[in-house]
Amino acid sequence: MGNVPVYSLESERDRYWAGYPKIVQEMVTGIFNAPAETPVEVRQAVEAYTARLAGGHRQDLPLPAGWEDYLQKMGLYAYKVVDEDIEELKAQGNSESAIYELSIAAALGAGLARMERVLMLLDEDEEA
Partner 1 sequence: MRIKVIEQGMEGRSKLIARVSRLMFGFTVGPLFLSIYRRDYFGTAFGRLSQSTLRENTFWSRGEVEMFASFVSNLNHCRF
Contact residues toward partner 1 (CB under 8 A) are: 23-24, 26-27, 29-31, 34-36, 78-79, 83, 86, 95-97, 99-101, 104
Q: With respect to partner 1, which residue has the nearer C-beta, 12 or 96? A: 96
Tell me the CA distances in angstroms from 3 to 24, 66, 73, 99, 112, one per residue in order: 18, 33, 27, 32, 14
Q: With respect to partner 1, which residue has the nearer C-beta, 3 or 35? A: 35
Residue 106 contacts by C-beta under 8 Å, 6 or more apart in sequence? Answer: 46, 47, 49, 50, 71, 74, 75
Minimum CB distance to partner 1, residue 68 (Å): 20
Q: With respect to partner 1, which residue has the nearer C-beta, 11 or 34? A: 34
Rounded to whole angstroms, the Cα distance separating 67 from 103 reads: 10
What sign has the CA pseudo-torsion 25, 102, 96, 40? negative
Contact 61, 9 (CB under 8 A): yes
Q: With respect to partner 1, which residue has the nearer C-beta, 61 or 86? A: 86
